[in-house]
Amino acid sequence: MTAEAPTPHRIATISVLTSPLAQPGGGDAGGLNVYVVETARRFAAVGVQVDIFTRAAAPRLPPVVELCDGVLVRHVPAGPAREIDKGALPRVLGEFADGMLRTRGEYDVVHAHHWLSGRVGALVARARGVPLVQSMHSLGLVKNAVLPGGEGSAPMLQIAGENAVIAAADRLVANTAQESDQLIALYGAAPERVHTVHPGVDLTLFRPGSRSQARARLGIPEDAVVLLFAGRVQRLKGPDILMRAAAEVLRADPDLGHRLVVAFVGGPSGDGQADPDQLTKLATDLGLGAHVRVEPPCPHPELADWYRAATLVVVPSRAETFGLVAVEAQACGTPVVAAAVGGLQTAVRGGVSGVLVEGHDPVRYAEVIRELMHNPARLATLRKGALSHAAGFGWGEAVDRLIAVYRAAIAGVRGQP
C-alpha cells in the first residue's frame, strides 16, 4: 500500500433497484442483493465501514437500519413509499440523489450496483469529489440479443442510461471475463477502467451435508430424482426450459413416474410477475402436475437444503452475468446442468463440476439429464468436481480484489488535474 493508493475507510454503496434487506429469489431481488450484503459484511470485518443507500419502498421504515456492526442500510425517500415498477424508477433518481447528498459524513468511494444506481452514483460522486465504481450486474444489450423485442427485453431508456453510466464511471467491476469483454465491445468502455472480480459464495453456509436429512426436512422421498431450479421465475432465467425438459425425460423414461420431482424455488419476477401462475399452468399442460413443486423464495439455510436434496440443479438461463445459484449448488456438492452462456461458463467448469449445454432446446437438456441419471459413477465424479470448483469462489478473495479496485480509483481521481 502506498500514499497514492490508500485503503478506503468508508464506502457509499447504492442499490436503487432493490433493498439489501429483501429476500432474494423473487421480484427484483436476486444475486445483486446477495452481492451487496455479503461484500458489505466482509468489508466491515476488515475495518471498512459501509453505508448502503436504498429507496424507502414501504411506509414507516426506519431511516437507518444496522445490518451488522460497521454496515448501515439508509432508506432514502424517493417517490412513493411503496414498491413501484422498475420502469418508473428513473423518475425518482433525482430525488434519490438529493437525499444521498443531504447525508452527513465523508466517503472515500461510491460503489453503485445496476445502471439505475449508477445514474445516482455519478451525480453524488462528482458532487463529493470521490470516484465512482460501477457494477452493472446485467446488460440491456446482452438481454436484447436473446430476447429481441419480446417480453423482458430492455427499453432504449435503459440502454442510454447504461451507456451514460459506463462512460461516467472511474472504474467498472465485471463479474467475469465475458462481461468485461461485453462492456468493452458493446459499450465502448475503456479497457484500463474495467476490472474482473468474480463474486463469491458463503462457503460456511453452502457446504455439503446429508442428502437424506435434507430430503426429510423438505418432504421429498429418499429415492426421488430431484431436478431443481432456484431463483427468480422469469423468461430470461429459463424455467420453462427445465419444465419442458422434464416432460421429455418422463416421456423417454416413464418408469420415473413415481420418482421424479421437479422443484422451482423462487418467486415471479419481471414479466413473470404479470402471470405468477405460469409454472403451474405449464406443468398441467405438460402432464407434470403431480411431479412439480413450486416453492416461494426461502432463507439461505433452507436453500442450502434444497441444493443438497437435489440430484441436479438446472440453470438454463438465456443470459447470465455470473450465475450465483450454480456456484452455491456446487458448493453443496450438487452438479449443475447449465446453459453455456455468459458468466455460467465461469461459474460451472464444463465436464468437471457439471455440464454446459449449448443452446436452449429442452430436448437437449433432457438428453443430458437422462445420461447423468443413468450413470451414477459419472454423477459421483461431478459431485467431487463441483466441490473442488466452488472452493475457489469464497468472498474473501472477491473483497480483497474490490479493495484493490477502490485504491486504484481513489488514486486516479486524486491524480487528476
What residue spans define the domains of the chain?
Answer: 10-200+394-414, 211-390
Q: What is the pLDDT of residues 385-406, one digit of tens each?
A: 999 999 999 999 999 999 999 9
Type of residue found at 66: E
- pLDDT by residue (tens digit) across 224-257? 999 999 999 988 999 999 999 999 999 999 988 8
Q: What is the mean pLDDT of residues 183-197?
A: 97
pLDDT on residue 307: 98
Rounded distance between C-alpha atoms, residue 213 and residue 69, angstroms: 34
Fold for the domain defined by 10-200+394-414: Rossmann fold (3.40.50)
| The pLDDT of residue 81 | 94
Confidence of residue 152 (pLDDT cuts 50, 70, 90): low
* pLDDT at residue 223 is higher than 70: yes
pTM as predicted: 0.91
**Position 149 confidence tier, pLDDT thresholds 50, 70, 90:** low
**Local confidence band at 2 (pLDDT 50, 70, 90 cut-offs):** very low
Residues in the annotated binding site: 23-24, 28-33, 86, 114, 138, 158, 232, 237, 307-308, 310, 320, 328, 334
Q: Which residues are annotated as a binding site for Mg(2+)?
A: 307-308, 310, 334
Mean local confidence (pLDDT), 30-40: 93
Tens of pLDDT, residue by residue over 271-285, are 555 455 788 999 999
pLDDT mean across residues, the chain:
93
Q: Give 334-383 pLDDT, tens digit per residue.
A: 999 999 999 999 999 999 999 999 999 999 999 999 999 999 999 999 99
Q: What is the 3-state secondary structure (H, E, C) of the chain?
A: CCCCCCCCCEEEEEECCCCCCCCCCECCECHHHHHHHHHHHHHHHCCCEEEEEEECCCCCCCCEEEEECCEEEEEECCCCCCCCCHHHHHHHHHHHHHHHHCCCCCCCEEEEECHHHHHHHHHHHHHHCCCEEEECCCCHHHHHHHCCCCCCCCCHHHHHHHHHHHHHCCEEEECCHHHHHHHHHHHCCCHHHEEECCCCECCCCCCCCCHHHHHHHHCCCCCCEEEEEECCECHHHCHHHHHHHHHHHHHHCHHHHHCEEEEEECCECHHHHHCCCHHHHHHHHCCCHHHEEEECCCCHHHHHHHHHHCCEEEECCCCCCCCHHHHHHHHCCCCEEEECCCCHHHHCCECCCEEEECCCCHHHHHHHHHHHHCCHHHHHHHHHHHHHHHCCCEHHHHHHHHHHHHHHHHHHHHCCC
Res. 9: pLDDT tops 70? yes
Model pLDDT, residue 1: 41
Per-residue pLDDT, 13: 98
Provide mean pLDDT across the span 144-155: 76
Query: Which CATH number is correct for 211-390, 3.30.2290.10, 3.90.1200.10, 3.40.50.1000, 3.40.50.2000?
Result: 3.40.50.2000
pLDDT in tens, 58-108: 999 999 999 999 999 999 999 999 999 888 999 999 999 999 999 988 999
Q: What was the pLDDT predicted at 278? A: 83
Tell me, yes or no, if the two domains 10-200+394-414 and 211-390 fold the same way: yes
Q: Are 314 and 368 in contact (CB under 8 A)?
A: no
Residue 154's pLDDT band (cuts 50, 70, 90): confident
Contacts of 202 (CB under 8 A, 6+ apart): 38, 300, 395
Report in angstroms the alpha-carbon separations of 406 from 13, 34, 40. 12, 20, 14
User: Binding site residues for UDP-N-acetyl-alpha-D-glucosamine, as ranges?
Assistant: 23-24, 31, 232, 237, 320, 328
What's the confidence (pLDDT) of residue 274? 46
- Binding-site residues for 1D-myo-inositol 3-phosphate, in ranges, read 28-33, 86, 114, 138, 158
Confidence of residue 3 (pLDDT cuts 50, 70, 90): very low
Burial profile 260-289: b = 16 or more Cβ within 10 angstroms, e = fewer: bbbbbbbbbbbbbbeeeebbeebbeebebe
Are 205 and 184 contacting, i.e. CB atoms less than 8 angstroms apart? Answer: no
pLDDT greater than 70 at residue 270: no
